[in-house]
Amino acid sequence: MEDIIIKVKDTIAQLNEEEKLDIDFPDSYIEDLAKAYIKNDLTDDELTELIRKLKQAYDRAHVEAGEAVGTVAAQSVGEPGTQMTMRTFHYAGVTELNVTLGLPRLIEIVDARKEIATPTMDIYFDEERRNDEEFVRTLANQIGKSTINDILSDFNLNYGTMEVEAVLDNKKIEEKRLDREKINAAIEKAFKKVDINGDEIVISSSKDSKSDSKFVIRELRLLADKVRDLQISGIKGIGKVIIRRDDEWIIHTEGSNLKEILDMEGIDHVRTTTNNIHEIGEVLGIEAARQSIINEAQNTLSEQGLSVDVRHIMLVADIMTSEGVVKSIGRHGISGEKSSVLARAAFEETGKHLLRASIRGEVDDLTGIIENIIIGQPIPLGTGSVGVKMDYKNE
């Protein structure tokens, strides 16, 4: 295979040199060419011809200079967007997990919200462990939030001694694959007056019980709530987890913490993901964030039965991430940062932009589309993008 690829590259280089074709295919194309070469058992002439044809098709597929790709992308996303209902379906197959979908989600993506409404993660496992149910369940319980309440078999308030009496359920602990030692340690760390006797735990208020006779009962109840809600395992930011098996074991989570999950043992670092674009941007970098915008937007649209060409979404994602940070489309992002005063004023907050421009003495060089529409000049796009220049050499 390797040598075929080299052969294809050589042929291209040769064509470039001999016929000045200026071929610059992406690597994936060259791979495909090599595959086709092997599969169809091509001769060298046929390969040359194939490369020529591919070059033609490749050039034809190119967007021409002066094409209004942004407007077309906006229209292509906007038109199906009007058909999108405000309905939000539940996560496919998993009823317990509620995820923002449809138009609200699309708006969330394009607005580049920092705090998204329903962050979720899909956790995959590496090849050895993706079919290991025991491992997945243990990990799920490490990730998911568990409280004392989840492992109780009996819970009582003793108003005589003013103590909280809890009895732990060994079965539940085992089911959840929790470590008994760690639970005890967590309880002892959280409460001062604790008496652990096997499964039975007696906790009394840290304060002197006689001191504030008026509020003791209330305090006892507050203490009881605290005991119930004491977190004994889980990762910060993650709530409920759902374990699902399709072809392999997958964990869905409510809430997201990509960084800590990726640090864990046995995780598939390639496929594990979150729907929080900013988090991806921070943990994996801007290119990952870009891909995440594309994936999320396309999934949201296709879930509603709408198909938008990826290239439109890719353009949106490119623009949102082109400066190294995820920026929103709109007043606080792309549109608000345009260089032209008139373009900004025409969009939103007209007064603010005009006033600021006058204070700073901004100059609008009128190179954009909106500016030229305002002043009534042909727009520098499409048929308006060509001009006449003087050929100095022939002067």
Using CB under 8 A, list all residues that contact another protein.
Answer: 66-68, 71-72, 74-75, 354-355, 357-358, 363, 369, 373-385, 387-388
Strands 152-158 and 120-123: unpaired
Q: What are the φ/ψ torsions at residue 380 (nearest 5 degrees)?
A: -75, 65
With tokens 């439109």, the residue in question is 312
Task: Copy the structure tokens of residue 297.
Answer: 């937007």
Residue (of 323, 239, 236, 335) closest to 281 by Cα position: 323
Query: Which three-class secondary structure string do you get for 159-191?
Result: CCCCEEEEEECHHHHHHCCCCHHHHHHHHHHHC
Nearer of residues 306 and 354 to another protein, judged by Cβ: 354
Nearer of residues 261 and 334 to another protein, judged by Cβ: 334
CB of 322 to another protein, least distance (A): 21
CB of 392 to another protein, least distance (A): 16
CB of 200 to another protein, least distance (A): 53
* CA pair distance 107, 113, nearest whole angstrom: 9
The number of CA neighbours under 13 Å toward the Cβ of 11 is: 22
CB of 38 to another protein, least distance (A): 42
CB of 271 to another protein, least distance (A): 37
- The alpha carbon of residue 135 and the mean position of all alpha carbons in its chain are separated, in whole angstroms, by 26
The answer to whether the beta carbons of residues 286 and 301 sit under 8 Å apart is no
Nearer of residues 222 and 355 to another protein, judged by Cβ: 355
Nearer of residues 270 and 388 to another protein, judged by Cβ: 388
Q: If you write DSSP's letter for every residue of 191-236 in order, what string do you get?
A: -SEEEEETTEEEEE-SS-TTTTGGGHHHHHHHHHHHHHH-EEE--T
CB of 316 to another protein, least distance (A): 15
Nearer of residues 239 and 384 to another protein, judged by Cβ: 384
Nearer of residues 57 and 359 to another protein, judged by Cβ: 359
